[in-house]
């Protein structure tokens, strides 16, 4: 049996790694990947509490759907940016209008 504290620590570490990448990196693809890493940490945190709550599995499914949505929509936005601005660096995208 794995103690819940271990899972919480691992989830927190994954969340921190993703947060650091989200704040510090400039390439758009890495920003999207960092967001997915953060959501994976959230998924582990939910699993750690699964023993106490029967809703956690359902919430986990929602988080998984969110992971897929973030990856797909993020990639689509990046593709659109690249099409009009010819770059994926997030610093270059300071306008919603192209």
Q: Which residues bind another protein (CB under 8 A)?
A: 1-3, 6-7, 10, 13-14, 17-18, 20-21, 25, 27, 29-30, 33-34, 36-37, 40, 43-44, 47-48, 50, 57, 60-61, 64, 67-68, 71
CB of 97 to another protein, least distance (A): 26
- Least distance (Å) from another protein to the CB of residue 46? 8
Shortest gap between Cβ of 2 and another protein (angstroms)?
5
Of 61 and 84, nearer to another protein (C-beta) is 61
Half-sphere exposure of 18 (CA within 13 A, CB side): 18
Give 51 or 84: the residue with its C-beta nearer to another protein: 51
Is 11 in contact with 56 (CB distance < 8 Å)? Answer: no
Closest to another protein by CB, 1 or 96: 1
Whether 67 contacts 55, CB under 8 Å? no
Phi-psi region of 46 (alpha: psi -120 to 50; beta: other; left: phi over 0): alpha
Rg value, the chain, Cα = 16
Structural contact between residues 25 and 34, judged by C-beta atoms closer than 8 angstroms: yes
């Amino acid at each position: 049996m794995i103690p819940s504290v271990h899972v919480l620590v691992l989830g927190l570490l994954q969340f921190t790694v993703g947060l650091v990448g989200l704040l510090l990196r400039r390439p758009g693809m890495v920003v999207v990947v960092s967001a997915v890493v953060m959501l994976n940490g959230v998924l582990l945190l939910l699993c750690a509490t699964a023993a106490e709550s029967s809703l956690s599995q359902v919430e986990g499914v929602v988080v998984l759907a969110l992971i897929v949505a973030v990856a797909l929509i993020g990639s689509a936005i990046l593709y659109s940016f690249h099409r009009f601005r010819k770059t994926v660096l997030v610093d270059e995208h300071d306008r919603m209008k192209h």
